[in-house]
């Protein structure tokens, strides 16, 4: 597929920061017309994208649009199609995280996470797919937490497991139309979302996330683009993350569960014996 | 002490099958479902197989998507009948439609009942189980919560999400005395499935027939055995287990063979 590496048109949600912005920048550099959908539009980011163009006739259009509003997003996508044409590559990147042990996690937080991450993926897919043509590609950004559970991630894991389920079904359903559907499952990546989370992360989550590794945005994007350019359907950037994925797949549940439970219990014990520093780290 | 079992979605299908199984084992049963009539029928079905006269078998009409009244009703049940030794989360809906034919509202409804419904019941009941430092919570997810099937966009999304929620809870509750089980049945011969088959997508039907359909009592027995053995993940049936094992160990092969099978049966443009 000629358009695989250098799509002529690229649509991305959550394109104003983090991984979404990195996608937008790279595809702008590769010469695509780009459409961005995000809650807040940042003029600085738009300027940066415009400056990154090699050919100044390429277009960058941005829409203030929430992935949680199916109607609004569908409308914005339609306008984007009118402006720059149908998407050859579309990536849903908008996501949010609220982490707390289940008993303490407010219902509103749980709902928000599922609304943005799962319904957001649904709404984005439903908005772009009808426009997409043979050779097109839809990619959903899930997470490592979408195949490996993590302490205090009830809402996030539920939403991201859901995204993976949705992605797998979409892959089967879109194939006959010649549209590929892919999933990206990054570990912790140094983005604004994660920086925000780190301020009050549960020590047990911290310890477990270290197993999956932490990547700088550059490292993560390198791995992600390698996978995207090769046309892989499941993309997991980072060596530690890949290892975690393989362990989850090939180790029997009882071994994985025993190991994880031991780590959780030892961290909880540490917290109990040293509540001051545990509180500080939260 | 008789074991006390709470079952949501207990008035039909797998929920009712499990209720009858545990009634036969001499447990106290609290059935929860929306429809009062079906609930009454289910209570008498359980009564007819109960083994001793002191056994408590009750039905509680509630709507798991109405969070406020759910919490109130659950509190009432817990203070009246005591905390459950086993909580089975079986209330759910199916939805067999191609993704692009599924409206946002329909997707919303399926995720709401399957994911948020289970979540809210657990939120209401877990505190009293934790207080007693004992008990079991069994999430009834689905094979579609482990593998992606054509025609199950919303359903798979909701059931994968239940899988994720159950796995996080298993981790968080390890050592608390409360155990978490994830149950992933293949197709079971239930009213939910009968309704689905009548108007379902032929591609889904074809793929599901490869795994086969289980009778309710067989599934209930296998599920109950898994729960009593404290299995973290329970997949009733050999064919379903093989399917899940293949999908887990060889996901790419699994996805490609599904595509190949669909092309073979329905043509290039399946």
B48-57 pLDDT tens trace: 999 988 999 9
Catalytic residues of B: 141, 155, 159
Kindly determine whether residue B161 and residue A158, on different chains, have CB atoms separated by under 8 Å. Answer: yes
Query: What CATH number did the domain enclosing A90 receive?
Result: 3.40.50.720
How far A181 CA sits from the closest chain B CA (Å)? 12
| Best residue in A127, A162, A242 for a mutation probing chain B (most B CBs within 10 Å) | A162
Could you tell me if A28 and A5 are in contact, meaning their C-beta atoms sit under 8 angstroms apart? no
pLDDT tens digits, B132-145: 999 999 999 999 99
Chain A residue numbers touching B137 (CB-CB < 8 A): none
Domain range enclosing A46: 9-196+212-250
Question: Does A201 fall in a domain?
Answer: no
Q: In angstroms, what CA-CA distances link A282 with A100, A194, A201, A267?
A: 10, 14, 5, 13
Instruction: Provide the pLDDT for residue A198.
Output: 85
Within-domain flag for A176: yes
User: Hey, are the CB atoms on A171 and B148 less than 8 Å from each other?
Assistant: yes
Measured distance CA(B69)–CA(B61) in Å, rounded: 11
Model pLDDT for residues B217-264, shown as the tens digit of each residue: 999 999 999 999 999 999 999 999 999 999 999 999 999 999 999 999
How confident is the model at residue B190, as a pLDDT? 87
ipTM: 0.95
In a domain, A61, yes or no: yes
The total number of structural domains that make up chain A: 1
Q: Give me the tens of pLDDT residue by residue for chain A, a chain 282 residues long.
A: 445 799 999 999 999 999 999 999 999 999 999 999 999 999 999 999 999 999 999 999 999 999 999 999 999 999 999 999 999 999 999 999 999 999 999 999 999 999 999 999 999 999 999 999 999 999 999 999 999 999 999 999 999 999 999 999 999 999 999 999 999 999 999 988 888 888 889 999 999 988 888 999 999 999 999 999 999 999 999 999 999 999 999 999 889 999 999 999 999 999 888 766 555 444
Give domain status of residue A127, yes or no: yes
DSSP H stretches of helix in chain A: 18-29, 43-52, 70-84, 107-113, 120-128, 154-174, 192-198, 203-212, 217-230, 239-250, 253-273, 275-281
Q: Is there a domain that residue A151 lies in?
A: yes
Residue A2 pLDDT: 43
**Residue B4 — φ and ψ, nearest 5°?**
-105, 125
B164 and A146 within 8 Å at the Cβ level: the answer is: yes
Pairing mode, strands A137-141 and A214-215: unpaired
- Looking at residue A1, its pLDDT comes to 44
Residue of A158, A180, A245 best to disrupt the B interface, most CBs of B under 10 A:
A158
In-domain check, residue A256: no
How many residue contacts between A and B have a Cβ separation below 8 Å? Answer: 166
Instruction: Count the neighbouring beta carbons within 10 Å of the beta carbon of residue A198.
Output: 14
The answer to the question of residue A270 being in a domain is no
Q: What is the Cα A126 distance to its own chain's centre?
A: 17
Residue A112 lies in a domain: yes
**Could you give the domains of chain B?**
4-266 (3.40.50.720)
Residue B192 has pLDDT above 90, yes or no: no
In whole angstroms, give the CA distance from residue B80 to residue B71.
14
Residue in this structure with the two tokens 């540490």, named with its chain if needed: A270
Contact A91, A35 (CB under 8 A): no
Give the nearest chain A residue to B250 (CA atoms).
A249
- Tens of pLDDT, residue by residue over B106-117, are 999 999 999 999
């Amino acid at each position: 597929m000629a358009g695989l590496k250098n799509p002529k048109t690229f649509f991305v949600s959550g394109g104003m920061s983090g991984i979404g912005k990195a996608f937008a920048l790279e595809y702008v550099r590769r010469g695509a017309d780009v459409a961005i959908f995000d809650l807040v539009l940042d003029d600085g980011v738009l300027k940066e994208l415009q400056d990154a163009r090699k050919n100044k006739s390429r277009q960058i259009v941005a829409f203030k649009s929430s992935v949680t509003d199916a109607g609004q997003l569908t409308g914005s996508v339609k306008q984007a199609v009118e402006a720059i044409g149908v998407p050859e590559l579309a990536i849903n990147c908008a996501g949010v995280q609220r982490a707390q042990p289940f008993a303490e996690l407010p219902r509103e937080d749980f709902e928000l996470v599922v609304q943005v991450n799962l319904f957001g993926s649904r709404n984005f897919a439903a908005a772009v797919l009808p426009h997409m043509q043979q050779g097109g590609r839809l990619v959903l950004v899930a997470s490592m937490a979408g195949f490996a559970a993590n302490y205090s991630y009830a809402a996030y894991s539920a939403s991201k497991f859901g995204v993976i389920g949705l992605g797998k079904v979409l892959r089967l359903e879109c194939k006959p139309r010649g549209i590929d559907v892919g999933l990206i499952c990054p570990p912790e990546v140094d983005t604004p979302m994660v920086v925000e989370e780190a301020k009050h992360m549960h020590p047990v989550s911290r310890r477990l996330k270290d197993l999956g590794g932490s990547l700088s945005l550059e490292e993560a994007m390198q791995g992600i683009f390698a996978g995207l350019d090769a046309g892989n359907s499941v993309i997991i950037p980072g060596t530690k993350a890949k290892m975690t994925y393989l362990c989850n797949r090939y180790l029997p549940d009882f071994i994985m569960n025993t190991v994880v439970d031991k780590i959780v219990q030892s961290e909880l014990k540490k917290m109990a014996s040293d509540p001051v520093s545990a509180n500080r780290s939260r | 002490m008789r074991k006390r079992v709470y079952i949501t979605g207990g008035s039909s299908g797998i929920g009712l099958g499990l209720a009858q199984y545990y009634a036969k084992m001499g447990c106290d049963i609290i059935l929860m479902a929306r429809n009062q009539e079906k609930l009454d029928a289910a209570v008498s079905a359980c009564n007819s197989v109960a083994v001793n006269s002191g056994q408590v078998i009750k039905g509680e009409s509630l709507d798991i998507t109405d969070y406020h009244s759910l919490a109130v009703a659950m509190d009432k049940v817990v203070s009246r009948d005591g905390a459950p030794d086993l909580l089975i989360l079986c209330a759910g809906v199916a939805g067999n439609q191609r993704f692009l034919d599924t409206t946002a509202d329909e997707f919303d409804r399926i995720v709401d009942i399957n994911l948020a419904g289970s979540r809210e019941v657990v939120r209401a009941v877990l505190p009293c189980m934790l207080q007693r430092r004992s008990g079991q919570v069994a999430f009834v997810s689905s094979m579609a919560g482990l593998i992606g099937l054509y025609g199950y966009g919303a359903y798979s999304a909701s059931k994968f999400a239940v899988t994720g929620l159950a796995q996080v809870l298993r981790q968080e509750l390890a050592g608390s005395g409360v155990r978490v089980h994830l149950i992933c049945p293949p197709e079971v011969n239930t009213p939910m499935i009968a309704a689905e088959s009548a108007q379902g997508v032929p591609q889904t039907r074809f793929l599901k027939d490869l795994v086969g359909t289980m009778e309710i009592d067989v599934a209930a027995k296998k599920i109950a055995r898994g729960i009593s053995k404290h299995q973290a993940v329970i997949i009733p049936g050999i064919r379903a287990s093989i399917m899940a094992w293949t999908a887990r160990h060889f996901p790419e092969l699994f996805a490609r063979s599904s595509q190949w099978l669909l092309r073979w049966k329905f043509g290039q443009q399946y």
